[in-house]
Amino acid sequence: NFKTAMSSPENMAAGKDAIGFFGRIHPKLESELKLRNPVYWCEINIEPVISLTPMQNRQFKAWSAFPTMERDFALLVKDAVSAENLIQSALKHGKPIAKVVKIFDTYKGAHIAEGMISIGVRVIFSDEAKSLEEKQVDQCAETIVKKWQEEFNATLR
């Protein structure tokens, strides 16, 4: 039984229902198997998780058949600026083609002024109905950057 080979299994729950467990394989078993790194394992029963969301609220949206385009931005903002606010601003002002916004890097230190932070932001653009044109993405990216400048006094690095 694999559960008995775990060093400290933790139970997982969805609402009141147990949905599984996870934990690290016992170090003794790792040693016996000559594993170089710790190994973790989990078992999940997805049915209780699915039952938490009413069927009428579930929506499936197929991936676009058209390719995405990405733009990366290195922004310099006050360190009090919320990454979530930057993301929501880009999604709001990048409609309808800005679909995903991610923070991929943050940096404070040498060459960054005190009280400031450099944030790397990736915006993924797509259109479900057609292939995007470079000009369209560039215009949308410009709009997003202008809004970041207006709302957060951001500057591009």
pLDDT tens column, 130-157: 999 999 999 999 999 999 999 999 999 8
CA 120, CA 57: separation in Å to the nearest integer? 34
**Strand 10-14 versus strand 155-156 pairing type:** unpaired
In sequence order, the β-bridge partners of residue 22 are 10, 42
pLDDT tens column, 20-39: 888 888 888 888 999 999 88
Predicted local distance difference test score (pLDDT) of residue 18: 72
